Amino acid sequence: AESSIPEPQRAAWKKNTPQEFQTKDEFLSEAVRHIETTLARSLFNCDESAAYGGTALAFRDRLVMEWNKTQQNQTTADQKRVYYLSLEFLMGRALDNAMLNTNMKGPAKDGMGELGFRMEDLISQERDAALGNGGLGRLAACFLDSMATMNYPAWGYALRYKYGIFKQEIHDGYQVEVPDYWLDFNPWEFARHDVTVNIQFYGGVRTYQDDNGKTHSSWEGGEIVEAVAFDVPIPGYGTATTNNMRMWSSKAHSGEFDFQKFNSGDYEGSVADTQRAETVSAVLYPNDNLDRGKELRLKQQYFWCAASLHDIVRRFKKTRKPWKEFSNNVAIQLNDTHPTLAIPELQRILIDIEGLEWSEAWEIVQNTFGYTNHTVMQEALEKWSVPLIQHLLPRHLQIIYDINLNFLQYVEKKFPKDRDMLRRVSIIEESEPKRVRMAFLAVIGSHKVNGVAELHSDLIKTTIFKDFVQIYGPDKFTNVTNGITPRRWLHQANPRLSELIASKLGGHEFLKDLTLLNKLENHVDDKAFRKEFQEIKYANKVRLAKHIKNTTGVSVNPAALFDIQVKRIHEYKRQQLNIFGVIHRYLAIKAMNAEERKKLAPRVSIFGGKAAPGYWMAKTVIHLICKVGDVVNNDPDVGDLLKVIFLEDYNVSKAEIITPASDISEHISTAGTEASGTSNMKFVLNGGLIIGTCDGANIEITREIGDSNIFLFGNLAEDVEELRHNHLYGKYELDDGLRKVFDAIQAGRFGDANQFSALVNGIVDHGDYYLVSDDFNSYCKTHDLIDESYKNQEEWLTKCITSVARMGFFSSDRCIDEYAEMIWNVEPVKPKAEQVNGG
């Protein structure tokens, strides 16, 4: 390592090591140098985008220097590392985060101010890194922030999609998808053209015997796609630790760019091969909580798993430790089943390439992996067709069959005579075609399986993994309730609130230990504090109102109650319940006289979220929201009493504006369907109250903040099955209020009723799977309660402040400590004293 380098060379390096900027002037000199040279712009054509670029590159340099030191330090420390495999990382923007985490925003802001730029304008030049769909991808991003902040030696492994989640435009009330080509200018990534892995697809398996008569298998032939590493530095907050997110990009293997074709004049043919290789990492699949089983998706999964494992194994081999040490050096967390192929892949590396015995290898595999489940919904559970895997990954299919055989023999011994048990738990579903149940493979190949909130972790043990609790015992299953990073979701999104809290708690320590927020309760009666808290909420609502005006043209009154539901559009999340409730309210207003209207609290109902391009029902819900908005927002009878807004293109950077601006937010999934939810936590942390069902993390939020500070409604998870049954057998009556809403829709009051018939019929005729009718009355009554509550502004404020003070549990730092202790068995590595950031 370092000590092997001769002293004169070390001295020369040391003398020339670039210095990290510490002051405004030093920052500015770096930024201007980048604008002039890297970006080739001058004073005369330095616009906001160039100024953003120069600032970002100056910060990137700084992060890369810290990154280098961190990596070296972690290598020397020789401790166990964590690898977080996620097909989604919803990172959002990086500049503000980098400035805040390095505590250098002030100097940067002043420096750019001298050039005549406002930092907010520069920040908003950046495109979101939107490599994810929703909660699952954002959770991965929060975890990276927490792991770096707490000095865990951890890497994220990602796929470098050329196109992230599509940009949503609304045309005439319909969603239109526009491609998100985000790599145009991405100063945060660092291409590693020297770090490549050849990934094999197709081909066949050759079996042969060695001199001792032992049988071996070897995967041969097929085609090669090259994986190229791109690294993104992940700075921790208030620490020098800068971790790495490694993204894999696909390109044609240099030997594969077909020179035969090229030389024989088939230029187009050879280019087509290149493009086919690049297709692997071209696009993020835009489905949330839905599995579509497409071949290219399977290719993506294997490509990224194989490249990551190769990288991890290569790093381990450098330590020259024996294989039995592997799982003492490496913990791999599978974010959902998307990376499950890493299990047979590691087994293949160990037995086919490294020559280990099956059982020795399998023990290493099980000790290495942990699996996080994020949903119990059937349509989201991945099941790959056996013929497809056979074709693409023939050796892996054999290994999966062998894993299954060993597993079923084990089960058979434990539960002799239970044939049905074997059928139920087999990794192979006996359907036509047969399918590989990836969740079962993930459970069998991991040492721990966790759900993401208490109710959810209980549910997986009684539903989808019930048999596995019998087989392995309950200890294999655990819970890690989700959390969010307070750096982005409080400090960055709501700087004024962060400052106010810091002023009361004597500093920003709470950003690293969120439980310190509980001290805020001492200030709940402090007049000046209350006033400032309220003013901040109002200012955040004004900011959102401006955004609404700019993007939709609709003026909303910031003094109205802001009622927000932003998340992916999904039937189980029940945006339809919300918009039916809005229509119900509209009808009520129309029926009121002037006196009654005066008593009503004005409301703004705000929606946002993307629908998967092929999810027709979700698109219909967006359309209904837009059409209701058109009618309500232009009805002179209504005025300020109700406005309905659909915000286009909800994403992380917009969430930073939206989240601090709620009075109420909606988390209203059918009980038992939302594994956790994380926006619920963001809204409460920012001083908004929530209306919600007894589902996911709402339950634990209630436990923490107290049930008088949350508006819960609706049926419980334990009753859902029976209610569904009742619907199917006609043993229920459509809710009266809902019937009136449907009558209004069917009378064409929001445009062509045919457009919405599937939505209505799904409830009236087709079993109301999400129990909208059963919960409708309770939902509307709870909204009435909210109106009443909001009238008493002092009481409302007390609820908000108390809730913020009690949200400490929901920091993703707490999650990461739980994973580290219960699942990974890893310890932090303290940065070296000479490191700069945050030191």
- 299, 348, 573, 627: which one is catalytic? 573
Based on the shown chain and the rule CB under 6 A, indicate whether residue 58 belongs to the binding site for ligand CJB. no
Give least dist CB 137 to ligand CJB, A. Answer: 7
Identify the bridge partners of residue 92 per DSSP, sorted by sequence position. Answer: 129
- 683 touches 608 (CB < 8 A): no
DSSP-assigned letter for residue 544? H
- State which of residues 139, 397, 621, 759 lies at the interface with ligand CJB (CB under 6 A): 139
Terminal-residue alpha carbon distance, the chain: 25
Q: Which of 107, 134, 286, 344 binds ligand CJB (CB under 6 A)?
A: 134
Based on the residue annotation, tell me whether 487 is a catalytic residue of this protein. no
Name the nearest CA neighbour of 330 among 154, 195, 69: 154
SS3 584: helix
Which helix (H) or strand (E) is 370 found in, with range? strand 369-372
Q: 167, 396, 461, 682: which is the annotated catalytic residue?
A: 682
Could you give the angle at the alpha carbon of 222 between the alpha carbons of 221 and 227, nearest 5°?
110
Residues of span 515-544 touching ligand CJB by CB under 6 A: none
DSSP one-letter string for 216-254: EEEEE-SEEEEEEEEEEEEEPTTSS-EEEEEEEEEEE-T
Residue 802 is a catalytic residue: no
Cβ-Cβ contacts under 8 Å for 434 (sequence gap 6 or more):
385, 386, 428
**Does an H or E element contain 643, and which?**
strand 642-647
- Taking the least distance from each CB to ligand CJB, the nearer of 241 and 576 is 576
Which of 380/801 has CB closer to ligand CJB? Answer: 380
154, 83 Cβ separation under 8 angstroms: yes
Inter-residue contact 385 to 293 (CB < 8 Å): yes
261 is catalytic: no
Q: What does the block give as tokens for 488?
A: 């982005």
Residues 440 to 459: which contact ligand CJB by CB under 6 A?
452
Residue with tokens 């949903």: 375
Q: Taking CB under 6 A as the criterion, which residues in 240-279 touch ligand CJB?
A: none
Based on the shown chain and the rule CB under 6 A, indicate whether residue 180 belongs to the binding site for ligand CJB. Answer: no
Q: Does 569 bind ligand CJB (CB under 6 A)?
A: no
Q: Which is nearer to ligand CJB, 301 or 482 (CB)?
A: 482
For ligand CJB, which residue has the nearest CB? Answer: 135
Q: Does 340 bind ligand CJB (CB under 6 A)?
A: no
CA distances for 754 relative to 417, 614, 747, angstroms = 55, 19, 10
- Least Å distance between CB 456 and ligand CJB? 8
Cβ nearer to ligand CJB, comparing 70 with 301:
301
Residue 136 interacting with ligand CJB (CB under 6 A): yes
CA distance 138 to 493: 15
Q: Minimum CB separation from ligand CJB for residue 146, in Å?
A: 14
| Reduced 3-state DSSP string for 156-210 | EEEECCCECCCEEEEECCEEEEECCECHHHCCCCEEEEEEEEEEEECCEEEEEEC
684 contributes a contact to ligand CJB by CB under 6 A: no
The Cα diameter of the chain in Å comes to: 96
Residue closer to ligand CJB by CB (options 380, 511) is 380
- How near is the Cβ of 335 to ligand CJB at its closest, in Å? 9
Active site residue 568: yes
Torsion-angle region of residue 838: left (phi > 0), alpha (psi -120 to 50) or beta? left
Give yes or no for residue 674 binding ligand CJB (CB under 6 A): yes
Binding range to ligand CJB, per CB under 6 A, among 132-140, 208-216, 245-253, 588-596: 132-140
Q: Which of 678, 698, 812, 835 binds ligand CJB (CB under 6 A)?
A: 678
Among 676, 698, 789, 803, binds ligand CJB (CB under 6 A): 676
Interface with ligand CJB includes 696 (CB under 6 A)? yes
Residue 633 or 673 having the CB closest to ligand CJB: 673
Of 20-28, 308-316, 488-496, 669-677, which part binds ligand CJB (CB under 6 A)? 669-677
CB 518 within 8 A of CB 504: no
Interactions with ligand CJB, residue window 474-513 (CB under 6 A): 482
Nearer to ligand CJB, 633 or 669 (CB): 669
Among positions 24, 69, 374, 523, the unique one binding ligand CJB when judged by CB under 6 A: 374
Shortest approach of ligand CJB to residue 375 CB, angstroms? 4
- Regarding 333 and contact with ligand CJB (CB under 6 A), the answer is no
Q: Which stretch binds ligand CJB (CB under 6 A): 134-142, 162-170, 438-446, 520-528?
A: 134-142
d(CA 429, CA 419): 14
One-letter identity of residue 692 = G
The span from the CA of 180 to the CA of 173, in Å, is: 21
The answer to whether residue 63 forms part of the interface with ligand CJB (CB under 6 A) is no
Cβ at position 710, least distance to ligand CJB in Å: 17
- Tokens 């993994």 correspond to 465
CB proximity list for 41: less than 8 A, separation 6 or greater: 35, 50
* Between 249 and 289, CB nearer to ligand CJB: 289
Residue 90 CB neighbours (<10 A) = 25
Q: What's the burial of 379, exposed, middle or buried (CB within 10 Å: 0-12/13-18/19+)?
A: exposed
Distance of closest approach, residue 15 Cβ to ligand CJB, in angstroms: 48
When asked if residue 464 is in the footprint of ligand CJB (CB under 6 A), the reply is no
324 catalytic residue (yes or no): no
122 versus 139: smaller Cβ distance to ligand CJB: 139
Peptide bond into 613 cis (omega under 30): no
The minimum distance between CB 321 and ligand CJB, in angstroms, equals: 34
In the residue annotation, 14 being an active-site residue is answered as no
Contact residues for ligand CJB (CB under 6 A)?
Answer: 133-136, 139, 288-289, 374-375, 380, 452, 482, 674-678, 696
Q: Which residues are catalytic?
A: 374, 567-568, 573, 678, 682
